Amino acid sequence: PDLYGANNTRLFTYWPSDAYQATGCYNLLCSGFIQVNSEIAMGASISPVSAYRNSQYDISILIWKDPKEGHWWMQFGNGYVLGYWPSFLFSYLAESASMIEWGGEVVNSEPDGQHTSTQMGSGHFPEEGFGKSSYFRNIQVVDSSNNLKAPKELGTFTEQSNCYDVQTGSNGDWGHYFYYGGPGRNPNCS
């Protein structure tokens, strides 16, 4: 909301070149990400969006490294290559990634000394499952031969599971998946 002035769900990028120490930028607000597609704007609202106990909608994102130039490319859906992060932006990702993370993130400025009331995902805990909690599904990684593969050693991490939590699973329809999120401040999360 601080960046866009509204609470819409958005497709955005944020890239740090130093493992989140000091540098980084959203979308195209500074030089870095090179957009090559004029049909989908970085930072644009996504519609339709899933609703609690109602229709659920997915988007597909693919990120891969070009073995020749070393650029990291981003694709939306099946046919929209959006752009790339040039190889010179990165020191830690110059050759490959050693870890990949999917998930949610909120800023907790601890207003009035309490945990933020900002929701993650749908604002509902993972135990509630499909149609209620947010999810990532069909999680895959791109190997050095540019083939999609199931991730190895899939683990979970949450700083405060009473505020936001995560649960993983795997099945034939969804592959590796996880439900995640939560309401933020609540009687068990202060």
pLDDT in tens, 35-50: 999 898 888 899 999 9
Q: Average pLDDT in the 118-124 region? A: 94
Closest CA to 48 of 58, 37, 36: 58
pLDDT at 19: 58
Q: How confident is the model at residue 144 (pLDDT cuts 50, 70, 90)?
A: confident
> Which pLDDT value is given to residue 17?
59
Closest C-alpha among 100, 81, 115 to residue 148? 100
Q: What value does the mean pLDDT of the chain take?
A: 89
**pLDDT tens, 95-108?**
778 888 899 888 88
Position 60 pLDDT exceeds 80: yes
Global pTM reads 0.86
Judge contact between 47 and 55, C-beta under 8 A.
no
The average pLDDT across 113-138 equals 95
Contact 54, 63 (CB under 8 A): no
Return the number of other C-beta atoms located less than 10 Å from residue 27's C-beta: 19
Sequence spans of domains, the chain:
1-98, 105-189
Least confident of 11-20, 55-64, 174-183: 11-20
Task: Quote the pLDDT of residue 56.
Answer: 96
Maximum distance among all alpha carbons in the chain? 53
The whole-number pLDDT of residue 166 equals 97
Q: Is the pLDDT of residue 15 over 80?
A: no
